Amino acid sequence: MEKVTRRSLLGRASAAAAAALAAPRGPLRASPVPAKPRRPVDFQVDGYPFTPAEYAEVLRVAAERGVVPDEYSRGGEVEALEARFAGLLGKETAVFMPSGTLANQLAVRRLCGAKRRVLVQEQSHLYNDCGDCASELSQLTLVPLAPGKATFTWEEAAGALAAAASSRVAVEIGAISIESPVRRRHGEVFEFGEMQRVCGEARRRGIALHLDGARLFVASAYSGRAPAEYAALFDTVYVSLWKCFSSGGGAMLAGPKALLGDLYQARRMFGGALWNAWPYAAVAGRQSEGYLERLTAAVAVSEKLIALLSAHGRFEIERVPHGTSLFRVRPKTSNAPLWRERLAARGIAVGPPDEGAFWLKVNETLANVVPARLTEELVAELPPV
């Protein structure tokens, strides 16, 4: 892997982005990533790490190709992206949302109707990271299950159903929301067999189902199951546009037309009807072409890299049980921050150390990397023990 300077890196970035996006839209195998990646590796993000200048170049080329603007997030490039993700997720329709927080809330709000309780993982984003939006803005009560775990069992869900039905004032569970992979569990997935069981039992009882699949395509790259296979278990599914698809923001919520066809009205009510969302849609649409193939290739590279680092005497590797794209590397050195600085000089980006160890995230920047060469660079920049 060649050493690059900051100036040459940015110069190649603009040319690579222009060449990639100038090609007409094609089948899912069409890759916007150049044959020789401009950035050796970035272990910090889910998608492709465009700089602001690179992102602007992507938009410039997209505009030259011909972008049809939307109006209040309806029509044009946004509508085309909605159709694309509906197809990828095997759903009748999809609706652009400005954020995953709004996508999750509007999904469970619509699914619940008059039944105001939602079963969720205690570790889920909806329960922990949304400022009680479900209760404050939609009068929903979230019931957390399986503290500290990614997966809850049907027995735990059934216990919550029984408790709600037998309380002094009986209440009903309107929906079950499952997040997978779970961010707070470092990308651990909800066990698929149990997911099938929970969804099957819920359907038999008329309980609606939502999948918080912000990183659903990451789960697919590791399991080999198509995103639509996961989504088929649920009424609605949300995926992030910025996490995996390198957009400046946005989310997609997919499901049946009868449920989501007029959801743009609720989106507007919550202040989520962006006047122009095409700058998000244009990039996400292009990056989604062939994304799963590129990430799957990157996963294969990462597995070889992990094996090489594990065999080397100066690295300790920690894998997340039932995990996906995150693994922890502890280099045997007295100066872990210096290792990070030296790697950055080579164009290899890692996050700050956590008690002398680093969480590394697999993404498509690994797709065309030679594992042995990357291992050599990681070793070469290690400060003394």
Domain contains 203:
yes
Q: Say how many domains are in the chain.
A: 2
pLDDT exceeds 80 at position 338: yes
CA distance 284 to 374: 28
Same-domain check for residues 32 and 134: no
CA distance 230 to 203: 15
Same-domain check for residues 45 and 139: no
pLDDT exceeds 90 at position 320: yes
Same-domain check for residues 57 and 182: no
Task: Return the structure tokens found at 130.
Answer: 């949304």
Question: Last residue of some domain: 252, 273, 288?
Answer: 288
Same-domain check for residues 216 and 240: yes
Q: Give mean pLDDT, residues 123-138.
A: 93
Domain contains 246:
yes
pLDDT, one tens digit per residue, over 10-53 is: 344 334 334 433 333 333 333 344 333 346 799 999 999 999 99
CA distance 381 to 376: 9
* pLDDT at position 140: 94
3-state secondary structure the chain: CCCCCHHHHHHHHHHHHHHHHHCCCCCCCCCCCCCCCCCCEECCCCCCCCCHHHHHHHHHHHHHHCCCCCECCECHHHHHHHHHHHHHHCCCEEEEECCHHHHHHHHHHHHHCCCCEEEEECCCHHHHCCCCHHHHHHCCEEEEECCCCCCCCHHHHHHHHHHHHHCCCCCCEEEEEEECCEHHHCCECCCHHHHHHHHHHHHHCCCEEEEECCCHHHHHHHHCCCHHHHHCCCCEEEEECCCCCCCCCCEEEEECHHHHCCHHHHHHHCCCCCCCCHHHHHHHHHHHCCHHHHHHHHHHHHHHHHHHHHHCCCEEEEECCCCCCEEEEEECCCCHHHHHHHHHHCCEECCCCECCEEEEECCHHHCCCCHHHHHHHHHHCCCCC
Task: Find the CATH number of the domain harbouring 191.
Answer: 3.40.640.10
Domain contains 355:
yes
* pLDDT at position 33: 41
Quick check: pTM over 0.95?
Answer: no
* pLDDT at position 31: 38
Domain contains 247:
yes
* pLDDT at position 106: 98
Domain contains 385:
no
Mean pLDDT for all residues in the chain: 90
* pLDDT at position 39: 61
Same-domain check for residues 219 and 312: no
145 pairs with which residues across the strands?
121
Same-domain check for residues 248 and 362: no
Same-domain check for residues 355 and 306: yes
Same-domain check for residues 55 and 119: no
Question: Last residue of some domain: 265, 288, 311?
Answer: 288
Return the CA Rg of the chain. Answer: 22
Which of the four pLDDT bands, split at 50, 70 and 90, describes residue 377?
very high
Domain contains 341:
yes
Same-domain check for residues 31 and 141: no
Structural domain including 309 reads: 6-64+290-380
Task: Return the structure tokens found at 79.
Answer: 């509508």
Same-domain check for residues 264 and 317: no
Domain contains 279:
yes
Compare 10 and 79 and report the one with higher pLDDT: 79
Domain contains 229:
yes
Q: Are 188 and 150 in contact (CB under 8 A)?
A: yes
Residue 337, φ and ψ in degrees, nearest 5: -60, -35
Compare 166 and 254 and report the one with higher pLDDT: 254
* pLDDT at position 385: 80
Task: Find the CATH number of the domain harbouring 346.
Answer: 3.90.1150.10
Same-domain check for residues 333 and 239: no
Same-domain check for residues 213 and 185: yes
Question: Last residue of some domain: 288, 307, 332?
Answer: 288
pLDDT, one tens digit per residue, over 161-214 is: 999 999 888 899 999 999 999 999 999 999 999 999 999 999 999 999 999 999
